[in-house]
A = this chain, B = another copy of it.
């Protein structure tokens, strides 16, 4: 891949764009040159970890690696947690949002007079009186649009004294739509003669229907290598549109303090991004916008920016001079929030006689949904990095359709890509006559980012495969496809190998810290805890680095008025980004503590401890001599001698010269009912390379949560559209089939395996784990179903009717 030239001007633009981090985190493969250029720039412009801080790094870990319950558990488990939707302000107005019944339509007339006349209504917002601003992310999407691009799109917002009045008023708005032709399938949208989706004027990358076309990644010569391969295989694989289905819907509460100060409580994964967006929207200095998010009821990628809800709340609040609360109802949240995009991947590969991959080609089409730019090149990320292939060709395009806007959903395109890839590899292994495990052990890439030629900062994929196989009993349990049928029950086992870029770093990485006179520590950082225990992890890294007891530390949550910036909680990057920042701020504070401990103090003009700062270490609340740990003083005495809190601050930079990746393997054991087509997941083993587990309990919970989302993708989840308007029909939890405890393995049959090779650049060797476990379950289960019944199903979800249809075909066959 030839590097693009990125100018200094472009670098500074990227540094100033909160969306860049988002996109870079989710699509490092497509933005590799930009990321590299920004990293190189930052390496040159910002200080590396200074020598004096290197010298005071802890000699051993005391806290990192423990099992720690999340600090927010008491609030969440007792129902006392205050989410954005729980914020109640005096005089607060409530908002109802009217949405479109059509997938594609032009608003010819909109009459809000009856709504405005209803007593209790304070403001009505439509495309006519809303600020005309393109909103972050999709460049062709405005705060409200006249041309509607998906069924369920926001058309008008009503602020009223109570939600009932607001809803009644929304029902009184009369809209005349000119219904336009729509399309909800990416392949159909790209086909000749497809309807015009009306995006022409709004700056779509290329053509009318093509939201984005990412650069082709080529290595060697695919065609020649494929032609000469001993074993060849090709196939086409499909995944469906999926939902985050966050417990807490999109929500924001806005409060103005005069014309130039704004506070927004937002259910967001990135407070600083929302702050920057809103500052731009209203032309304010960022310091005059305050964004607060403590508890969040799920983000999963949907809440990476303020999108419409934050701006609608702030605009209505400015119009009415009242606090305004916006909460999407369940239907609106299913329809208008972003979702995992449907994908079609055509794969083609050849291997040598030993089963070594010789040529690999992937062509993907992803469904961008109604607006451009949220559908990224993520489908390719796991494809370019999991398997070693010297001759390769990878291409992805994304098409505009009239589905709701696509977006980031836990691991973004990787579950789609890996689903397709690892069924395909299973098939190729079979053609090569190899055990699926041996095939993967022979072909996974363990050393480098093949395109950037950069060594992995850590790689535990082989250990993931070996330990996972051992745990599930692969060698004992794997059998020929369809060879373990007892009565109407077929037993099967399947696996996946996976690598993705999630868990990498982004910028900025900044944090602050203070320690009080009693030796207790406040870790002040901007991380939104989206339920993954991020705050607890920051607290652990902070306490470890400064050397206080864990029970004396406490993490802040993100409040843009007070905290520094460590990017959003997405891309599994908070361990790297927030964790590194907290570590550096902690070292800064520790160094100041050691300086104070070795400084002559009155009345005897003697220091608390002899020697130089670098002769000392801290731990368990004490400063002690490295050479003789029995010579120690409590940290609180050192702090108290200064009279006040001591503070630390840190900005970290991204080390260049490494490829960064996370690795995983998944192993599934299923029982398929040959009469009903029902698939029962008996056992699931998730092995994840996390570099080093900061909080073992938290890592296990992340693995379990992400795995469940992956299981849902194959065992039933699928958004369905129907009728002339292509309206979503299963927009609630009754009809959208998420896996419950009945569909996921019981705890005893669920095994998370933590692989810890130690990362060269992560804090204490750690890297992220929030997303990587999402991808392996679906192909592992699909491969296990094949192993059970001998039928290959290429399209997710694998429903009963697909299983039964496959079985019928075999019986017929």
Which listed residue (B45, B512, B520, B642) contacts A285, Cβ 8 A? B520
Which listed residue (B80, B257, B508, B599) contacts A257, Cβ 8 A? B80
Interface check A749, CB cutoff 8 A: no
Specify which of A46, A74, A559, A562 lies most central, judged by the most chain B CB atoms within 10 Å of its CB: A562
Q: Which of A354-362, A489-497, A644-652, A725-733 contacts B (4 or more CB under 8 A)?
A: A644-652
Interface check A364, CB cutoff 8 A: no
Distance, CA A102 to CA B42, complexed state (A)? 71
Closest to A514 in B: B564
With A562-B562, A640-B16, A641-B45 given, is the CB distance from A321 to B554 under 8 Å?
no
Interface check A620, CB cutoff 8 A: no
What is the distance, in angstroms, from A702's C-beta to the closest C-beta of chain B?
22
A512 touches B510 (CB 8 A): no
Which listed residue (B287, B522, B602) contacts A561, Cβ 8 A? B522
With A16-B517, A517-B15 given, is the CB distance from A72 to B257 under 8 Å?
yes
Q: Which of A83-91, A245-253, A715-723 contacts B (4 or more CB under 8 A)?
A: A83-91
With A40-B602, A518-B279, A640-B12 given, is the CB distance from A89 to B78 under 8 Å?
no
Closest to A69 in B: B258
**Residues on B with beta carbons closer than 8 Å to the beta carbon of A86:** 90
B287 touches A522 (CB 8 A): yes
**Residues on B with beta carbons closer than 8 Å to the beta carbon of A436:** none
Distance, CA A321 to CA B78, complexed state (A)? 9
A285 touches B643 (CB 8 A): no
Interface check A430, CB cutoff 8 A: no
What is the distance, in angstroms, from A455's C-beta to the closest C-beta of chain B?
24
A257 touches B74 (CB 8 A): yes
Specify which of A80, A256, A288, A551 lies most central, judged by the most chain B CB atoms within 10 Å of its CB: A80
Which listed residue (B261, B521, B601, B647) contacts A45, Cβ 8 A? B601
Closest to A7 in B: B603
Which listed residue (B285, B554, B602, B644) contacts A44, Cβ 8 A? B602
A564 touches B603 (CB 8 A): no
Distance, CA A285 to CA B520, complexed state (A)? 6
Closest to A554 in B: B287
B518 touches A554 (CB 8 A): no
A45 touches B556 (CB 8 A): no
Interface check A524, CB cutoff 8 A: yes
CB-CB contacts of A626-649 with B at 8 A, as 1s and 0s?
A: 000000000001001111111111
**Residues on B with beta carbons closer than 8 Å to the beta carbon of A257:** 72, 74-75, 80
What is the distance, in angstroms, from A226's C-beta to the closest C-beta of chain B?
41
What is the distance, in angstroms, from A179's C-beta to the closest C-beta of chain B?
43
**Residues on B with beta carbons closer than 8 Å to the beta carbon of A651:** 642, 644, 646-647
Interface check A516, CB cutoff 8 A: yes
What is the distance, in angstroms, from A582's C-beta to the closest C-beta of chain B?
13
For this chain, the copies found in one complex come to: 2
Interface check A234, CB cutoff 8 A: no
A75 touches B596 (CB 8 A): no
Residues of A in contact, count (CB < 8 Å): 84
What is the distance, in angstroms, from A87's C-beta to the closest C-beta of chain B?
9
Distance, CA A722 to CA B565, complexed state (A)? 60
Considering only residues 54-111 of chain A, those with a C-beta below 8 Å from chain B are 71-75, 78-80, 82, 86, 88-91
**Residues on B with beta carbons closer than 8 Å to the beta carbon of A619:** none
Which listed residue (B8, B287, B520) contacts A602, Cβ 8 A? B8
Interface check A286, CB cutoff 8 A: yes
Closest to A77 in B: B258
Closest to A637 in B: B12
B44 touches A520 (CB 8 A): no
Interface check A563, CB cutoff 8 A: yes
Which listed residue (B45, B561, B641) contacts A642, Cβ 8 A? B45
B80 touches A323 (CB 8 A): yes
Distance, CA A89 to CA B73, complexed state (A)? 18
With A41-B602, A82-B89 given, is the CB distance from A286 to B16 under 8 Å?
no
B518 touches A286 (CB 8 A): yes
Interface check A507, CB cutoff 8 A: yes
What is the distance, in angstroms, from A602's C-beta to the closest C-beta of chain B?
5
What is the distance, in angstroms, from A503's C-beta to the closest C-beta of chain B?
20
Distance, CA A74 to CA B255, complexed state (A)? 12
A287 touches B644 (CB 8 A): no
Distance, CA A37 to CA B75, complexed state (A)? 45
What is the distance, in angstroms, from A511's C-beta to the closest C-beta of chain B?
9
**Residues on B with beta carbons closer than 8 Å to the beta carbon of A641:** 12, 15, 45
**Residues on B with beta carbons closer than 8 Å to the beta carbon of A565:** 516, 644-645
Interface check A552, CB cutoff 8 A: yes
Distance, CA A41 to CA B648, complexed state (A)? 23
Which listed residue (B88, B563, B603) contacts A8, Cβ 8 A? B603
Interface check A397, CB cutoff 8 A: no
**Residues on B with beta carbons closer than 8 Å to the beta carbon of A258:** 73-75, 78
Interface check A509, CB cutoff 8 A: yes
CB-CB contacts of A547-571 with B at 8 A, as 1s and 0s?
A: 0000111101001011111000000
**Residues on B with beta carbons closer than 8 Å to the beta carbon of A91:** 79-80
**Residues on B with beta carbons closer than 8 Å to the beta carbon of A602:** 8, 40-41, 44-45
What is the distance, in angstroms, from A339's C-beta to the closest C-beta of chain B?
30
**Residues on B with beta carbons closer than 8 Å to the beta carbon of A42:** 642-643
A45 touches B508 (CB 8 A): no
Distance, CA A600 to CA B520, complexed state (A)? 39
With A12-B640, A563-B562 given, is the CB distance from A520 to B645 under 8 Å?
no
Distance, CA A15 to CA B256, complexed state (A)? 40
Distance, CA A321 to CA B79, complexed state (A)? 11
Which listed residue (B255, B507, B551) contacts A80, Cβ 8 A? B255
Distance, CA A563 to CA B562, complexed state (A)? 7
**Residues on B with beta carbons closer than 8 Å to the beta carbon of A88:** 88, 90
Distance, CA A521 to CA B288, complexed state (A)? 9
A643 touches B507 (CB 8 A): yes
What is the distance, in angstroms, from A53's C-beta to the closest C-beta of chain B?
15
With A86-B90, A644-B509, A645-B565 given, is the CB distance from A287 to B516 under 8 Å?
yes
**Residues on B with beta carbons closer than 8 Å to the beta carbon of A261:** 71, 74, 554
Closest to A642 in B: B46
What is the distance, in angstroms, from A786's C-beta to the closest C-beta of chain B?
47
CB-CB contacts of A399-416 with B at 8 A, as 1s and 0s?
A: 000000000000000000
B603 touches A286 (CB 8 A): no
**Residues on B with beta carbons closer than 8 Å to the beta carbon of A551:** 260, 285
B647 touches A288 (CB 8 A): no
What is the distance, in angstroms, from A697's C-beta to the closest C-beta of chain B?
16
Please list 8 pairs of residues, one from A and one from B, whose beta carbons are closer than 8 Å in the complex, sorted by A's number.
A16-B640, A40-B602, A41-B602, A44-B602, A74-B257, A524-B562, A556-B562, A564-B645
Other A-B contacts than A80-B91, A643-B653, 5 sampled, CB-CB below 8 A, are: A75-B257, A75-B258, A80-B255, A507-B643, A565-B644
Pick the 10 closest A-B CB pairs, nearest first: A508-B644, A74-B258, A285-B520, A562-B562, A287-B520, A287-B554, A507-B643, A647-B649, A286-B516, A285-B552
